[in-house]
Amino acid sequence: MFAPTYLDHNATTPLDERVLEVMLPFLRERCGNPSSRHEYGRATRDAVERARQQVASAVNAHPTEVIFTSGGSEANNLFLKGAASSLKPGVLAIGASEHPCVHQPALQLRAQGWKLLELPLDADGVVADRRDLIAQERPALVSVMLANNETGAINDIVTLAKVARAAGAYIHSDAVQALGKIPVDFRALGVHALSLSSHKIYGPLGAGALVLDKRVELQPLIAGGGQERGLRSGTENVAAIVGFGKACELLMAEYAQRAESMQRLRELLEKGLAHLGARIFAANAPRLPNTSFFAFGGIDGETLVGKLDRAGFAVASGAACSSAHPEPSRTLLAMSENPEIARGAVRISVGRTTQTQDVEKFLLALRQTVSELKQLTAMAV
């Protein structure tokens, strides 16, 4: 079976075998509903609550602040729509490069009477310090991602949270890409809410969490049995939640080793990219240790990704959720990049299992592929 070298860890990560091991009993014999009063139900309830503690510990939160969801997209929607439903329509401020699962709900809220304010990026891909704009507009809700899923640029959420709170806003941060790559501390960030996802940290698909200050009132997206503090009804996905908890436990134990390895591999990769003449986006910003977003002039990103796939390397031309709509990256356009350059963007994201030889072999394949595409371009002119 053909198995390309996997260099797309920002899209999803492979399930850790140790995570699968703790999930298997809940996919086989441990079948209780956590809301049931009998022994089977109590056992699964205990497993869910243990996972809640593990997730909370990973981000310095209290277990009662963790609301399990199906993933980061639901967590983002729950905060934005849930908080908006508890407030009078006002100003909603989001970063100009937010993930679609923040941007699209924001557009829906705009159609319902909210004023949408997009906070601009600077040339390095970081949300600019616009405390003047926030003080003037006084948004009721602010949502800015901790780290960008394409460039890896890290935003100064601590400062933004202070500014937002001073303006009377609830502030939320999408930390889906940040968790596992940089320290994520709910208390230190100063936000009211934080979104997390299991499958970005070697846990299973189908589990995520909204970490929520209990003083913030939300209306649920899904009403029914009253699970998750009444904010997310429905029988819990016990196996996935247990896996999410275990992935958080492993992350806490192995964070330093993982981060050092990813940083070293990214530096090796970008040294090779620079030698090939690539443009690396957000290179001067504080970035995730595993992420490189780059382009070569005159080479289409989708074409390059396809050829690299056939050469045995799985990479991305941007966010996985946007792959069906190959428009120029919204993030790069918000950075005032030329649309033609933006169309050439390719993302490499290394992970826990990536080896030095994987990066070295990738650079050799990239050199060959870029050379071939440049020759084809020259022939077509």
- What's the one-letter identity of residue 140? A
Residues 206 and 298 in one domain: no
Residues 245 and 290 in one domain: no
Domain final residue pick, 220, 250, 280: 250
Query: What six digits make up the tokens of 189?
Result: 């960030």
pLDDT for 127: 95
Residues 232 and 297 in one domain: no
Residues 242 and 283 in one domain: no
Residues 319 and 292 in one domain: yes
CB atoms within 10 A of CB 217: 11
Statement: the pTM of the whole predicted model exceeds 0.75? yes
CATH code (residue 358): 3.90.1150.10
Residues 215 and 77 in one domain: yes
Residues 209 and 325 in one domain: no
pLDDT for 375: 82
Residues 293 and 147 in one domain: no
pLDDT for 252: 97
pLDDT for 129: 86
Give yes or no for a contact between 67 and 188, defined as CB atoms under 8 angstroms apart.
no
| CA pair distance 273, 7, nearest whole angstrom | 15
Domain final residue pick, 198, 222, 250: 250
User: In the β-sheet with 291-295, what is the strand arrangement from edge to edge?
Assistant: 279-280, 291-295, 346-349
Residues 146 and 124 in one domain: yes
Residues 301 and 333 in one domain: yes
pLDDT for 97: 96
Which of the following is catalytic: 31, 101, 248, 321? 321
Catalytic residue status for 321: yes
Residues 216 and 273 in one domain: no
pLDDT for 376: 73
pLDDT for 63: 98
Residues 280 and 357 in one domain: yes
Domain final residue pick, 250, 273, 306: 250
* Domains contained in the chain, number: 2
Mean pLDDT by 10 residues, the chain (381 residues): 88 98 95 92 96 98 98 98 97 97 98 97 92 93 98 97 96 98 98 98 98 96 94 96 98 97 98 97 97 95 96 83 66 94 96 97 97 76 48
CATH code (residue 245): 3.40.640.10
Full residue range of the structural domain in which residue 322 is found: 5-12+256-380
The 3-state DSSP class for residue 218 equals coil
Contacts of 212 (CB under 8 A, 6+ apart): 65, 67, 79, 192, 193, 218, 231
